[in-house]
Amino acid sequence: MTRISQWNGQFSCFDLVARTQDNPGSVVRVGDIEIGGGELVVMAGPCAVESEFQVLETAEAVAEAGARILRGGAYKPRSSPYSFQGLGREGLKILAKARAVTGLAIVTEVMTPEDVPLIAEYADLMQVGTRSMENYALLDALGRCGRPVLLKRGMTATLTELLQSAQIIAAAGNPDIILCERGIRTFETATRNTLDIAAVPVLKTVSRLPVIVDPSHAAGVRRLVPTLARAAAVVDADGLLVEVHPCPERAMSDGNQSLNPIEFREMMDDLQPYLALRGRVRCARPERLHVAGVH
């Protein structure tokens, strides 16, 4: 196995997630959706699952605008014990209903190893949040969960540490991992985090794993989200994770950075020429086959 790039040897110990001549790029399948196959896969939805009405309304809007995966936290890592903590199992059921109604796949966060089996029953893609990137017991459990994993970069983690966490999941038996750049903590305070856009080409050079960008948690304010999404499209990110709420002003978490459905549709339309510049398209839902006389 010859490595295509070792980046000064810095990443050379992550053999299970490394980019090699034999494996220059993995495609991770989430249901019938391929991530890492060249098309941009958009995952969108509320920060937190708040109610069935909120989730169904959002799911229908984002599916209509071209998203393929519905995001929404049922178990929320909140920095205050007094903030809304998520609906738990009831939230998972709401997400499953939204999948049944819209055909969208589901990505939702898991915070503890004990929750892995339950969440794996409902989720198509298991999300590891920035605060959990170094929860090694969780990563180990996700190695045996039977579902692909979306691994978000710790807000103070280097790319080496991100790949180390990916290697732990892979070493525990799960090769299906998607990396997510969601902004890191720097001295800048104008944005919630600093989007490390260079992380995308670095990771895609040294790792075989698909890389997506979360412009919402990087920006912290909604007006920056479409611009950061454009940047992700032109550096060949494999997908986007975007927060959308039917009424962001009333959101129980992360309303400031959530787009409303109209803004989300505008963002999706705005991305097209930037993708075209790179010879790419958005991953679209396959046309349903209509056979005459059969319904």
* Residues in 245-284 at the binding interface with ligand PEP, rule: CB under 6 A: none
Q: Residues 6 or more apart from 161 whose CB is under 8 A from it?
A: 133, 134, 154
Choose the contact partner of 115 out of Mn ion, ligand PEP, none; CB within 5 to 8 A by kind: none
Position with the least CB separation from Mn ion: 47
Rounded to 5 degrees, what are φ and ψ at 217?
A: -75, -25
How far apart (Å, rounded) are the C-alpha atoms in residues 169 and 138? Answer: 9
Nearer to ligand PEP, 63 or 128 (CB): 128
Helix/strand number for the chain, H first, E second: 9, 10
The minimum distance between CB 217 and Mn ion, in angstroms, equals 6
* Residues in 107-136 at the binding interface with ligand PEP, rule: CB under 6 A: 129-131
Cβ count near 3 (within 10 Å): 15
The minimum distance between CB 225 and ligand PEP, in angstroms, equals 13
Distances (CA, A) of 114 to 76, 123, 137, 167, 187: 15, 15, 10, 21, 36
**In 3-state terms, what secondary structure has residue 260?**
coil
Q: Residues 6 or more apart from 47 whose CB is under 8 A from it?
A: 72, 73, 76, 243, 245, 251, 252, 253, 254, 258
How far apart (Å, rounded) are the C-alpha atoms in residues 77 and 105? Answer: 22
Binds ligand PEP by CB under 6 A, chosen from 68, 99, 152, 280: 152
* 73 is an interface residue for ligand PEP by CB under 6 A: yes
Tell me the DSSP string of 182-217.
--B--S--SSSSB--TTHHHHHHHHBSS-EEE-HHH
Contact 109, 75 (CB under 8 A): yes
Choose the contact partner of 97 out of Mn ion, ligand PEP, none; CB within 5 to 8 A by kind: none
* 254 is an interface residue for Mn ion by CB under 5 A: yes
Choose the contact partner of 152 out of ligand PEP, Mn ion, none; CB within 5 to 8 A by kind: ligand PEP
The minimum distance between CB 130 and ligand PEP, in angstroms, equals 4
Choose the contact partner of 55 out of ligand PEP, Mn ion, none; CB within 5 to 8 A by kind: none
Choose the contact partner of 46 out of Mn ion, ligand PEP, none; CB within 5 to 8 A by kind: none
Helix-, strand-, coil-residue percentages of the chain, each rounded to 5:
35, 20, 45
* 47 is an interface residue for ligand PEP by CB under 6 A: yes
The minimum distance between CB 253 and Mn ion, in angstroms, equals 6
Site size with Mn ion, rule: CB under 5 A: 2
* 176 is an interface residue for Mn ion by CB under 5 A: no
Binds ligand PEP by CB under 6 A, chosen from 217, 245, 280, 282: 217
Position with the least CB separation from ligand PEP: 129
Q: Report the interface residues with ligand PEP, using CB under 6 A.
A: 47, 73, 77, 129-131, 152, 182, 214, 217
Q: Report the interface residues with Mn ion, using CB under 5 A.
A: 47, 254
